[in-house]
Amino acid sequence: MWNAYNVGAVQPNSTGTTLYAKNTTVFNTQIASLLCPSDAPMRRVTLSNYVGNLGGPFQMGGYTGTFIPTADWNLQNSNQAGDLKISGVTDGTSNTALWSEVLSGHTNPGSVSAGDSNPNNWKRVHFETGLNSTQANAAGALAIVNACKSLAPSKVGVAGARGDWFQAYPYYVNYAVYNHTAPPNTRACSNSPWNTWGQDVYGAAPPTSNHSGGVNVCMTDGSVKFIKDSIGLPTWWGLGTRNGSEVISADTY
């Protein structure tokens, strides 16, 4: 697939159609090993159920995980490491998430409500909270979690792009990554009201699955652990950061 990809400069126009047209072979090929057998993809694009860890709540530190953009156009945070090495995971590789899983996106997010009785629907879309919080601390992160949790049942989704592994721009949209803000298998929500195409880094983009009670998380040491939906937020936040100096006991997850 890499050999088939035509590497080029940044797309020459705002839609990126020229660069896309050069790579239809790659963008129209589904790799079976990137799909979870328990998911039933709705969207016919190149998908992956396995997504990288962007980090803990952005309100407490930007890009604190193991999958981070190599270039932030406005250099808004000092935690960008560019090419991350194992030595940069100072919290310990067994206590830092590397990737987890998500259900792929929905073809018609506007038809899905926050109160949908079928989790197979609402786990595939993201919602707007209308909060637009700029509170840069744990209380701000908790506000995002609570706003997403308390959405009106009639609130409908705004976008369904998830697991699109070939999409990497804008860098602040969680197409092929997830974050450690809200616990597993809860709603995905944007904090910024202007972002209608994907979960922004300031919001909640939790891992999701069809597995009962939790999700699989691969740690940076290569071990895979089943993390329960009931995990405590401080522990969940700590597992998302590579250098947050949190002390995490294995019996808390």
Task: Take residue 171 and report the two structure tokens written for it.
Answer: 């860098």
Are 155 and 113 in contact by the 8 Å Cβ rule? The answer is: yes
pLDDT tens digit string along 217-235?
999 999 999 999 999 999 9
> For residues 46 and 164, what is the distance between their CA atoms, to the nearest angstrom?
6
**pTM recorded for the entire structure:** 0.89
Q: Which residues contact 83 (CB under 8 A, 6 or more apart)?
A: 70
Which stretches within 56-193 are classed as H helix? 119-122, 138-149
Q: How many CB atoms lie within 10 A of CB 115?
A: 12
- pLDDT in the model for residue 75: 46
43 vs 152, more confident: 152
Task: Take residue 59 and report the two structure tokens written for it.
Answer: 């309100």
Are 125 and 188 in contact by the 8 Å Cβ rule? The answer is: yes
pLDDT at 11 over 60: no
Average pLDDT over residues 64-78: 66
